[in-house]
């Protein structure tokens, strides 16, 4: 295990897409959705704990969920459970925890992971993950991992990439065309 590798599990969402099972007071990441005796966040922790030690795993959540995270993930040091000052969605969450981890270890490489992903083929997932980690070890870059969609869904974002590989299994993401009518400041 690489000592400079960190995982940031994002667990602050209210789980509105999974209503009525998921409620604001107890969202989907804290539920045993699959009926296997583990909540989604517990499964996510176990998956990434195969890659990095528990001391390098952080959870970013809402202050409303601190006690639930502590209860469900007693393996994580309490100081690694971070409450966002405000709920501002994914990008600010990632920026916030990246800054905190960088303060701890300026040589860190961070993986930002949702607490509620369903990964069916862990072996393939780890292969892709390790490939991305090898890439960023030598190239200062952001790597995003996605799956090929099986159907359109307006509730999710899509990643488009160029057709040539910059490294084996790594493609450059296509950038959005500049649109002067978009006001990005309203999001931050």
Domain boundaries along the sequence of the chain:
5-187
- Report residue 4: phi and psi, to 5°: -90, 0
Tell how far CA 117 is from the center of its chain: 9
> Percent of the chain beyond pLDDT 70?
85
Q: Please give the pLDDT value at position 91.
A: 84
Confidence tier at 45 by pLDDT (50, 70, 90): very high
Look-up of token digits 């065309």? 177
CA distance 112 to 135: 16
CATH code 3.90.550.10 for 5-187: yes
For residue 57, list its beta bridge partners: 7
pLDDT in tens, 68-101: 999 999 999 999 999 887 777 788 888 889 999 9
For residue 10, list its beta bridge partners: 60, 114
Residues with Cβ < 8 Å from 154, sequence gap 6 or more? none
Question: Taking 70 as the threshold, does the pLDDT of residue 183 lie above it?
Answer: no
Question: Taking 90 as the threshold, does the pLDDT of residue 166 lie above it?
Answer: no
For residues 81, 127, 131 and 95, what is the CA-based torsion angle, rounded to 10 degrees? -20
For residue 95, list its beta bridge partners: none
Closest to 173 measured CA to CA, from 134, 138, 130, 132: 132
Within a 10 A sphere around the Cβ of 5, how many other Cβ atoms? Answer: 19
Whole-structure pTM over 0.85, yes or no? no
pLDDT in tens, 5-28: 999 998 876 555 655 665 556 677
């Amino acid at each position: 295990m690489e000592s400079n590798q960190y995982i940031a599990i994002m667990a602050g969402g209210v789980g509105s897409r999974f209503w009525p099972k998921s409620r604001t007071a107890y969202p989907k990441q804290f539920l045993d959705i699959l009926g296997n005796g583990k909540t989604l966040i517990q499964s996510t922790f176990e998956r990434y704990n195969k890659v990095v030690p528990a001391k390098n795993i952080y959870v970013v959540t809402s202050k409303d969920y601190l006690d639930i995270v502590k209860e469900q993930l007693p393996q994580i040091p309490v100081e690694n459970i971070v409450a966002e000052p405000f709920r501002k969605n994914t990008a600010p969450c990632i920026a916030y925890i990246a800054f905190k981890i960088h303060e701890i270890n300026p040589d860190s490489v961070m993986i930002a992971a949702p607490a509620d992903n369903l990964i069916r083929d862990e072996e393939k997932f780890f292969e892709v993950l390790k490939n991305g980690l090898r890439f960023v070890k030598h190239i200062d870059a952001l790597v995003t991992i996605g799956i090929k969609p099986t159907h359109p869904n307006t509730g999710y974002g899509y990643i488009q990439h160029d057709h040539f590989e910059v490294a084996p299994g790594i493609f450059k993401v296509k950038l959005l065309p500049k649109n002067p009518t978009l006001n990005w400041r309203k999001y931050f």
